[in-house]
Amino acid sequence: MAIICNEATKFFALETMNSTYAMQVGNSGELLHVCYGGKIDCTDDLSALTQRPDRAFSPSPAGQGRSNSLNVLPAELAGFGSGDFRMTACRIKKANGSSVTAPVYKSFRVYNGKPALPGLPASFAAETACRTLEITLEDLFSGVEFLLSFSVFDNSDVIARSVKVVNNTSETVEIENLMSLQLDFDHADFDLLYPQGNWAYERHIERMPLHPGIQSFGSVRGSTGHQYNPGFVLAAKTASENSGEVYGALLVYSGSYTADIQVDAFSGIRALLGINPENFCWQLTPGAEFHSPEALLCYSAEGLNALSAQSHKFIMEHIIRSPWKHAKRPILVNNWEATYFDFDDNKIYAIAEKAASLGIEMLVLDDGWFGERNDDNSSLGDWFVNTDKLGDFAALVKRINALGLKFGLWFEPEMISEKSKLYEKHPEWVLCVPGKRRSYARNQLILDMSRKEVVDYLFETIAGLLKEIHIEYIKWDMNRNLTEIFSAALPAGQQGEVAHRYVMGVYELHERLLQAFPDLLIEGCSGGGGRFDAGMLYYAPQIWCSDDSDALERIPIQLGTSLFYPCSSMGAHVSVCPNHQTGRSVSYDFRAALALGGTFGYELDITKFTAEEDKIIREQVAAYHKYNDLVREGRFFRLSEGFGRTNCAAWCWVSDDRQEVLAVAVCKQARPCSQEPFKRLRFAGLDAGKVYTLEDGRSFHGSTLMNTGIDVTVALSKDASCVMLYLKAK
Ligand code: DGJ
């Protein structure tokens, strides 16, 4: 990695392992984007890339003649209202009411390492493993400064980018819009890929050609949401899993965001990613600073699998901080789908006892253990043990620990029930417009996490319990999104800050708990995968992927999640059949094939198991111990392309030394057996020259496995059939 700066020509380039990202200051002072893609030689004259001929209806700044209109030049941080009619990346409102914004170059500096973003999750690296270029731009209209930071990392193709706004002026301004990422291209020959879906249907990958105009997705929910994920890929039209140019962008943020891709009138692209300007406005007093969340950019010339691998590696090395990130997670059993709210200490202990006998390593007590919560009508906020239900809780946990099991507990810290002691005491802590209608979801209201005293209360209550009881894992849930976003604690002029301050409050609570309990394993959750993002992964190394635990449904969910996020971060469990979400029944093998691809655990009443089921679970536990190092640390490949038009999917993990491989192939829906198409599993990422041996004794060269593949027609000839193949190289 390197950063190239030419002070005389005001040219800057970021070099990663396989890419170059270049910028240059244009004639009118704006920082222009020169190019981004495969590596180039920056000593070549690239100035033509930042020149544009005269275009009709495209104004130019005074003194620039008729060419070089800001409306056609590729920019790095497009201002507002000064000749660039495309989407804008920053907008500052002055005391005189004007929002015209025109950031122009002022200075730059380069340094080793990268600073943390105050109050926000962001990538980190040792000083020697990362370099940062900071370019300062000054708004011609307000005098406010934008410090654009770009960091590059050793052995990575990821570039981290964020923007700091500093108000060095003597008047208060308002940030109306500030995008973390802007990426302009001079052509639009791309497909757009992005994860989309809904509750229990998260992160299905959508691929579509770009079309003129704006294609946009995002969230105004105060959380990233189940519906879209804060990232996208621009892929060359011919790009596939294993070939072609692809560009990925991912926001390290867990609140409302927007991702916008505009194909402009000259068939170029402007892509933006950042905090959603809808319901966002930040007052910046003289001397104050504001940091945008960080955005990550990545380029690959070798298709989507290579992009995902870069993203996984980066998230593992530079985003997830937890001491658990490289560790094998305890196999857990969660009581939710086994009991819902209907349990007592005897039932929980019985689950634990059975779990211990099966080799399960942790019991997680889900919703319903606190206050008077026997359904979803009450008690959120009252994080005190329901002793009627659980008796002496500390003693129960000790008995569970004595079985050799760890103990984990569910919380939904950000929420409050109207029927709760907390609400009786602090109705003003609810996020709402006082005296006006409020919206309920799952019968609950939301705490105003922008208030310091709310975060303090939650910290003290949760930390108090963690000090008293031996809790080694927390499932941190969030079962609704924000409405009536208003804080009684902030003045009128700062109400546009509440949604972002809420997210900062959530981050602060995480941070304080982790400072106090550094080994605590937190699993993020939001009604399943409603807040699966790189921001949360900074605090929680794993996130419950989806409330849909049907293994068949999990295929697109987990494959879609793998576009950006590593398998070790995906919460995945074997649940009961018929499945509670879909009513579908599939084999234990099939359920394990999916769950073993994530953190692994159980979510069903194991006390009801037959002897045969006990045997199956013990085998699955053994499989977890055998394969999990590979799943956590190996390189992941989606292999479904090899299956043509069959209803199959496949994936594999390959160890760094390419000695070990685990492949999973699944058939979702079979055709009548005499009509089954031939199915070949084609591997990726192997060493072509090595000979790999399957557990049944067959051996093939890596080249054969990758270019021809092996026949799995019979193994995949039934609905929800699967095959797991473990190979070792000699
Ligand atoms: C939603 C989660 O996704 C479930 O796993 C479970 O924890 C429930 N909430 C509990 O209310």
Distance 249 CA to ligand 1 centre (A): 30
**Nearest Cα residue to 713 out of 661, 667, 662:** 667
Atom of ligand 1 nearest to the CA of 528: 3
The residue behind tokens 């495209």 is 58
Q: Residues of the chain with pLDDT > 90: what percent? A: 96
Q: What was the pLDDT predicted at 628?
A: 98
pLDDT tops 80 at residue 297: yes
pLDDT tens digits, 216-264: 999 999 999 999 999 999 999 999 999 999 999 999 999 999 999 999 9
Q: Report residue 675's pLDDT band, with 50, 70 and 90 as the boundaries.
A: confident
Q: Report residue 13's pLDDT band, with 50, 70 and 90 as the boundaries.
A: very high
pLDDT tops 80 at residue 674: no
Distance 527 CA to ligand 1 centre (A): 6
Pocket test for ligand 1, best of 342, 477, 544 (most atoms within 8 A of CB): 477
Give me 720's structure tokens: 């929800």
Distance 443 CA to ligand 1 centre (A): 14
Q: What was the pLDDT predicted at 67?
A: 84
Atom of ligand 1 nearest to the CA of 526: 3
Q: What was the pLDDT predicted at 643?
A: 76
**Nearest Cα residue to 211 out of 248, 258, 262, 260:** 262
Phi, psi of 544 (to 5 degrees): -60, 120
The number of angstroms, rounded, from the C-alpha of 691 to the middle of its chain's C-alpha atoms is 37
pLDDT tens digits, 81-133: 999 999 999 999 999 999 999 999 999 999 999 999 999 999 999 999 999 99
Q: What was the pLDDT predicted at 65?
A: 85
Residue located nearest, by CA, to atom 1 of ligand 1: 527
Q: Give residue ranges with CB within 6 A of ligand 1.
A: 336, 366-367, 410, 477, 479, 525, 527-528, 544, 547
The residue behind tokens 């005391």 is 95
Give me 623's structure tokens: 């499989």
Q: Are 292 and 163 in contact (CB under 8 A)?
A: yes
Alpha-carbon Rg for the chain in angstroms: 27
Q: Are 70 and 28 in contact (CB under 8 A)?
A: yes
Distance 543 CA to ligand 1 centre (A): 12
The residue behind tokens 């190996």 is 634
Atom of ligand 1 nearest to the CA of 603: 5
Q: What was the pLDDT predicted at 66?
A: 86
Mean pLDDT of 160-184: 98
Pocket test for ligand 1, best of 223, 375, 410, 414 (most atoms within 8 A of CB): 410
Distance 367 CA to ligand 1 centre (A): 7
Distance 132 CA to ligand 1 centre (A): 41
Distance 19 CA to ligand 1 centre (A): 42
Can you give 48-95 as a three-state secondary structure string?
HHHCCCCCCCCCCCCCCCCCCCCCCCCECCCCECCCCCCCCCEEEECC
- DSSP SS3 for 230: coil
- Residue 404: which region, alpha, beta or left (left: phi > 0; alpha: psi -120 to 50)? left
pLDDT tens digits, 223-234: 999 999 999 999
Q: What was the pLDDT predicted at 646?
A: 76
pLDDT tops 80 at residue 274: yes
The residue behind tokens 């003290």 is 460
Q: Are 279 and 221 in contact (CB under 8 A)?
A: no
Mean pLDDT of 180-199: 97
The residue behind tokens 């003649």 is 65
Residue located nearest, by CA, to atom 11 of ligand 1: 367
Q: Are 87 and 260 in contact (CB under 8 A)?
A: yes
What is the average pLDDT score of the chain?
A: 97
pLDDT tens digits, 590-635: 999 999 999 999 999 999 999 999 999 999 999 999 999 999 999 9
pLDDT tops 80 at residue 513: yes
Atom of ligand 1 nearest to the CA of 475: 7
Q: What was the pLDDT predicted at 704?
A: 98
Q: Number of C-alpha atoms within 13 angstroms, CB side, residue 110? A: 12
**Nearest Cα residue to 281 out of 178, 174, 180, 432:** 174
Atom of ligand 1 nearest to the CA of 525: 3
Q: What was the pLDDT predicted at 677?
A: 85
Catalytic residues: 477, 547
Distance 623 CA to ligand 1 centre (A): 27
Q: Residues of the chain with pLDDT > 70: what percent? A: 100
Distance 340 CA to ligand 1 centre (A): 9
Q: Report residue 64's pLDDT band, with 50, 70 and 90 as the boundaries.
A: confident
Q: Are 436 and 387 in contact (CB under 8 A)?
A: no
Residues 6+ apart with CB under 8 A from 270: 78, 86, 87, 182, 183, 184, 260, 261, 262, 264
Distance 530 CA to ligand 1 centre (A): 11
DSSP H or E segment with residue 14: strand 11-15
Q: What was the pLDDT predicted at 524?
A: 98
Rounded CA-CA distance 334/542 in Å is: 15
